[in-house]
Chain A
Amino acid sequence: MKRLLPFFVFVLLCGLLGFGIWWNTHHEMNEVPSPLVGKTAPEFTLPLLYEPTKSLGRKDLLGQPYLLNVFGSWCPTCQDEHPFLMREGKSLGIRLIGLDWKDQPEAAKRWLQQFGNPYQTIIVDEDGHAGIDFGVYGAPETFLVDAQGVIRYKRIGMLTPDVIARELKPQIAAISAGRVATP
C-alpha cells in the first residue's frame, strides 16, 4: 500500500492538470477579476500622441463616460481587434480614448496611418507606468470609466463584435441610465 502512495499523489496531480485544461477551454483567461472594477480609475497624466507638449489626465476626462483602450503597434492581437473598433467605435456613443502602451510614438503613428484611427484622443504611456497603475496584463485591454471617474467594466484581450454586443453595450447603457437618473 505504501508503495502505491506516489501513484495516488500523481493521479491527484493529473486530475488538477486535467482540470487546468478544462478550465482553460471553458473560460478565457480574460476573466481574471480586476480589483479596480468599481473603484476610481488611477491617477495619470500622459502626453497626447499627436501633440506631445499637451497632456491629458484623469481629471480632464471627468463629466462624461469614456472607453480607454490599451493598444500598441507591436501587438498582433490589437491588429485583429482594430477593424472592430473602426467599425463599431462610433456607434458606442461615448468617447474612445486610446492608450498607446509601451510603444514608440512614431511606430504608433505609422500603425494608425496604415490601419486607420478609431480614437478621439490618444495618450502615450511609453514606459508603461500608467499601465502598471491600471493593472494591465497585456495588450489589448479595455476599461469603461463612468462620468465620476469610476471603472465600471474591464476586458482583458480582444473586443470582438460579440463581446461588444453582449457585454460592453449593456454596460454603457446602464451607465447612461444611471447618469440620467442621478442629477
Chain B
Amino acid sequence: MLPELGQFALILALLLAFLQCAVPVYGAWRDNATLIASARPIAAGQCVFVVLAFAILTYAFLTQDFSVAYVAQNSNSALPWYYRFPAVWGAHEGSLLLWVLILNIWTVAVAALSRRLPEVFMARVIGVLGFVAFGFLLFTILTSNPFLRHLPALPEGNDLNPILQDPGLIMHPPMLYTGYVGFSVAFAFAIAALLGGELDVASVRWARPWTNVAWAFLTLGIALGSWWAYYVLGWGGWWFWDPVENASFMPWLVGTALIHSQAVTEKRGSFRAWTLLLSIFAFSLSLLGTFLVRSGVLTSVHAFASDPRRGLFILVFLGVVVGGSLLIYALRAPKVAGGKPFNILSRETLLLINNLMFTCAAAMVLLGTLYPLIGDALGIGRISVGPPYFGFMFMLLMLPVVCTLPFGPFFRWAAADWSATWRALRPALVLAIVAVVAAKFVAPEMALRGLAGVAATLWIGTGIALYALKRWRNAPAGRRYTPEMLGMIVAHFGVALFFAGVLITEATSVERDLRFARDETQRIGGLDFRFAGVQRVQGPNYLADEGTLEVRNDEKLVATLHPQKRQYTGQQMQSKSDIDPGLFRDIYVALGEPSGTDGAWSVRVYVKPFVRWIWLGGLLMMFGGFTAACDRRFRVKAGIRDSGHEIRESSDDRAIFAFPNPESPIPNPGPQA
C-alpha cells in the first residue's frame, strides 16, 4: 500500500511542478499579482509531496520491503540499518529521487530567504526552478520509477554493492547533488533576469551567496568522492579522470569561473554577459553530467543493461533547457557592455584570465570525456584519451592561474599600482625560489613536478598570507576581514595546499606490489614492513581475510595495519585497504591474493607523502565558499542601495592603498592574544 502512495505523491508533485512553472511565469508576464503570489505556496506544496515520496522509499528500505523491485535489487536482510539509508540512493532510481528532493529543498530555501527581493523577479526564479523539477519528476516517473513492485515479493534481496557500503558514501552523493543542483539557483536567477530584461547589478548580488554555497557543497562532494575512491577502491589513486568524475568536475570548473565573474559584475558592473553565460553553463554542465552518467553512452563497456530511453529523455530535456536558455540569452542579453572601464593592469584583467582558464579547462575536460563519441562520429573508431591527456592539459591551463593568483587581491579594481604590488609580493617569490633551490640540493632526484609543487604552494600560500597581513596592518580594526574577504583568503590558501598535495604526492610516492611470506620483513620507502599473517574475521554481513602488517621506522613501531579482503553475504568480493594517515605521509596497504601454500600473500604497499593535503585544500576551499556566502553585504536590502554601495566598496579599497602606513604598530592584538 505505502509504495503506491509514494508513486501517487510523485505524480502529485509532478502536477504541482507544472503549476509552479506555468502560473508564476504567466503571472509575471501579465503582471497579475495573485498569480505571482502563488509561486511560494505551490513550491512548498511540491516539496511536501517529494519529501513524502522520499520518506516512503526510505521506509521501504528500513523495513526491507522486498516486494519493491528497487529495494530488492539494492538491499538485503543482512545489510546493517545504517547502510539502509545510503542504499536509498545507491542506484539510479533512488538517486534521481534524491536529486529531485534536493532541488525542492533549494527551491523552498530560496523562496523563504528572498522575501526582500521584488515579487515579480522571484516569481520567475521559482518558475524556472519549477520547470527543472518538472523535467526530473517526469523522467523519474516515466523511465525510472523506484516504486515498481516485484510480486510476489522476493524472499531475499540482492545486496547493496559492497563498495558503496562505506561511511564516506553516506555523505558523498547528497553533498555532490546539493552542489550540482545548487547551480540551478544561479541559473534561475540568470534566466529570470533575462526574461525580465532588467539586468541590473542587484540581481547578481542576490545570486552570489547561493552560487558560493552551491560551489562549496560541490567542492565538498568532489573531495569526499576522491577520498572515498582513495581508501575504498584499493588502488591508492585519488582521481582517475573517468567520465563519472569528469561529470562532477566540469560544473565545478565553470562554477569556479562563475563565482569570480559574479564578483566583478556585482562590484564593477562589467562582465555581465560572461556572468549570464557562465550561470547557464554551470547548470547545463550539471545536466550534461547527469546525461553522461545515466544514459550509458560513455560508460557502457561495463554497464550491459543501459536503457536508451533514459538517454533520449535526458537529451531532449537538456535540449529544451539549455537550448532554450541560450536562445533567450541570444535574444535578450544586454546589447551594450556596461560597467566601468579598466586598464590592462587591474583586478578585472586577472579575473578575466581566471575566467578564460577555468572555462577552457572545462571545455578541455568535456572534449576529453566525449572523445570516444567523436571518434565514432568521425568513423575513426572508439578511442579514449586517458589521464596523460587530462593531466598535462590541466596543468598547462592552471599554470597562468597559479602565476597570477597572488596578484589578484593586491591589484586594485580598474587600475593597479604595479610597483607597490611588486614590492609587497617580492618576499613570496624569493621564498619560492629559495625553497626550490634548497629542495633540489636536499633531494636531487625529485621530479620536476615536485619542485613545481613546492614553488606553486609557497608562491600562492605566502602571497595570500602577505595579503592577510597587509589587511591586518592597514585596515581599520572592525573591517579587517569581512566574511567575504576571509572566505577569499581561506579558499585561496586551500588552493596552495591542494597544489602541494597533488604535485608532491605524484612526484614522491612509492608504490610496490610485493609477495610477503609469513613473518617476512621488507623495506619500502625507508620503512620496515613485517607481515604477520592472515586471519579469518567475521563482520556483520561479511567474512573477511584480515592481514596484519607492522610498520617500523628504525625499530620504532609506527603503525599496525589490518587490510581485509571481504566476502559479502550477497557473494560480492571487496578489498578493504588500511591506512596509517599522517599530515606529511600516508602508509597505505591493500591485501592482494594468497600466493602459494605457505601462508604467503601478495600485498600492495604505498607510501604517499602529503596526500592528505589534497583534501585539506579542498576542505579549506569549501570553508572559504561558505564563509564568503555569510557576508551581510549580500543580505541587506541590497536592491535599493545598489549604486551607493558600489562606490563605498571601491573607495574603501582605494583608501587602503592611498595611505599605506608600514610604520604603524599593530594597533590591536586581537581577541586571541
**Residues of A participating in the B interface, judged by any CB pair closer than 8 Å:** 3-4, 6-7, 10-11, 14, 16-21, 23-25, 29, 32-33, 73-74, 77, 103-104, 107, 126-127, 137-138, 156-158
What's the minimum C-beta distance from B603 to chain A, rounded to whole angstroms?
12
**Residues of B participating in the A interface, judged by any CB pair closer than 8 Å:** 277, 280, 284, 291, 295-298, 300-302, 304, 306, 308, 311-312, 315, 318-319, 322-323, 326-327, 329-331, 333, 370, 373-374, 376-377, 381-382, 567, 571-573, 592-593, 602
In the assembled complex, which residues on chain B have CB atoms less than 8 Å from the CB atom of A103? 573
In the bound complex, how far is the Cα of B373 from the Cα of A29, in angstroms? 12
Q: Would you call B300 and A29 a contact (CB within 8 A)?
A: yes
Nearest opposing residue in chain A for B574, CB measure: A74
What's the minimum C-beta distance from A131 to chain B, rounded to whole angstroms?
13
Q: Would you call B301 and A24 a contact (CB within 8 A)?
A: no
In the assembled complex, which residues on chain A have CB atoms less than 8 Å from the CB atom of B323? 7, 10-11, 14
Nearest opposing residue in chain A for B363, CB measure: A9
In the bound complex, how far is the Cα of B301 from the Cα of A156, in angstroms? 9
Please indicate which of the listed interface residues A10, A19, A157 has the most CB atoms of chain B within 10 Å of its own CB: A10
Nearest opposing residue in chain A for B331, CB measure: A3
In the bound complex, how far is the Cα of B301 from the Cα of A170, in angstroms? 26
What's the minimum C-beta distance from A173 to chain B, rounded to whole angstroms?
28
Q: Would you call A6 and B291 a contact (CB within 8 A)?
A: no
In the assembled complex, which residues on chain B have CB atoms less than 8 Å from the CB atom of A158? 304
Q: Would you call A23 and B376 a contact (CB within 8 A)?
A: yes
Q: Would you call B373 and A16 a contact (CB within 8 A)?
A: yes
Say whether, besides A16-B370, A16-B374, A107-B573, A7 and B308 are in contact (CB < 8 Å). no
Q: Would you call A6 and B302 a contact (CB within 8 A)?
A: no
Q: Would you call B301 and A32 a contact (CB within 8 A)?
A: yes
In the bound complex, how far is the Cα of B190 from the Cα of A175, in angstroms? 65
Residue among A17, A19, A126, A156 making CB contact with B291, cutoff 8 Å: A17
Q: Would you call A24 and B277 a contact (CB within 8 A)?
A: no
Please indicate which of the listed interface residues A6, A73, A103, A107 has the most CB atoms of chain B within 10 Å of its own CB: A6
Q: Would you call A24 and B311 a contact (CB within 8 A)?
A: yes
Q: Would you call A29 and B301 a contact (CB within 8 A)?
A: yes
In the assembled complex, which residues on chain A have CB atoms less than 8 Å from the CB atom of B602? 127
Say whether, besides A10-B322, A29-B301, A77-B304, A20 and B295 are in contact (CB < 8 Å). yes
Residue among B306, B377, B573 making CB contact with A19, cutoff 8 Å: B377
Q: Would you call A16 and B377 a contact (CB within 8 A)?
A: yes
Residue among B318, B370, B374, B573 making CB contact with A74, cutoff 8 Å: B573
Q: Would you call A138 and B277 a contact (CB within 8 A)?
A: no
Q: Would you call A24 and B308 a contact (CB within 8 A)?
A: yes
Q: Would you call B296 and A3 a contact (CB within 8 A)?
A: no
What's the minimum C-beta distance from B290 to chain A, rounded to whole angstroms?
12
In the assembled complex, which residues on chain A have CB atoms less than 8 Å from the CB atom of B318? 14, 17
In the bound complex, how far is the Cα of B398 from the Cα of A32, in angstroms? 34
Q: Would you call B326 and A6 a contact (CB within 8 A)?
A: yes
Can you name 29 A-B pairs with beta carbons within 8 Å? Answer: A3-B329, A3-B331, A6-B277, A6-B280, A6-B329, A6-B330, A7-B329, A7-B330, A10-B284, A14-B318, A16-B373, A17-B291, A17-B295, A20-B376, A21-B295, A21-B312, A24-B297, A29-B300, A29-B301, A32-B382, A73-B571, A74-B571, A74-B572, A74-B573, A107-B571, A107-B573, A137-B302, A138-B301, A138-B302
Say whether, besides A17-B291, A17-B297, A25-B308, A127 and B333 are in contact (CB < 8 Å). no
Say whether, besides A32-B382, A138-B302, A17 and B373 are in contact (CB < 8 Å). yes
Residue among B304, B322, B333, B567 making CB contact with A104, cutoff 8 Å: B567
Residue among A7, A20, A74 making CB contact with B326, cutoff 8 Å: A7
Q: Would you call B297 and A21 a contact (CB within 8 A)?
A: yes
What's the minimum C-beta distance from B326 to chain A, rounded to whole angstroms?
4
What's the minimum C-beta distance from A80 to chain B, rounded to whole angstroms?
9
Say whether, besides A25-B308, A32-B382, A138-B302, A14 and B376 are in contact (CB < 8 Å). no
In the assembled complex, which residues on chain B have CB atoms less than 8 Å from the CB atom of A7? 323, 326-327, 329-330
Q: Would you call A157 and B304 a contact (CB within 8 A)?
A: yes
In the bound complex, how far is the Cα of B297 from the Cα of A29, in angstroms? 10
Nearest opposing residue in chain A for B332, CB measure: A3
Nearest opposing residue in chain A for B299, CB measure: A29
In the bound complex, how far is the Cα of B382 from the Cα of A33, in angstroms? 9
In the assembled complex, which residues on chain A have CB atoms less than 8 Å from the CB atom of B306? 24
Nearest opposing residue in chain B for A14, CB measure: B319
Nearest opposing residue in chain A for B328, CB measure: A7
Nearest opposing residue in chain B for A15, CB measure: B377
Residue among B315, B567, B571 making CB contact with A21, cutoff 8 Å: B315
In the bound complex, how far is the Cα of B373 from the Cα of A14, in angstroms? 12
> Can you add 17 more A-B contacts, CB < 8 Å, to A10-B284, A17-B315, A29-B301?
A3-B331, A7-B323, A10-B322, A10-B326, A14-B318, A16-B374, A19-B377, A21-B315, A23-B376, A24-B295, A24-B306, A74-B571, A103-B573, A104-B573, A107-B567, A137-B301, A156-B301
In the assembled complex, which residues on chain B have CB atoms less than 8 Å from the CB atom of A107? 567, 571, 573
Nearest opposing residue in chain B for A110, CB measure: B571
What's the minimum C-beta distance from A115 to chain B, rounded to whole angstroms?
13
In the bound complex, how far is the Cα of B331 from the Cα of A74, in angstroms? 55
In the bound complex, how far is the Cα of B284 from the Cα of A11, in angstroms? 13
What's the minimum C-beta distance from B89 to chain A, rounded to whole angstroms?
21
In the bound complex, how far is the Cα of B302 from the Cα of A104, in angstroms? 21
Q: Would you call A126 and B333 a contact (CB within 8 A)?
A: no
Q: Would you call A3 and B333 a contact (CB within 8 A)?
A: yes
In the assembled complex, which residues on chain B have CB atoms less than 8 Å from the CB atom of A25? 308
Q: Would you call A21 and B593 a contact (CB within 8 A)?
A: no
Nearest opposing residue in chain A for B303, CB measure: A29
Nearest opposing residue in chain B for A77, CB measure: B304
Nearest opposing residue in chain B for A19, CB measure: B377
Residue among B304, B333, B377, B381 making CB contact with A33, cutoff 8 Å: B381
Nearest opposing residue in chain B for A104, CB measure: B573
Nearest opposing residue in chain B for A73, CB measure: B571
What's the minimum C-beta distance from B10 to chain A, rounded to whole angstroms?
25
Please indicate which of the listed interface residues B295, B297, B377, B572 has the most CB atoms of chain A within 10 Å of its own CB: B297
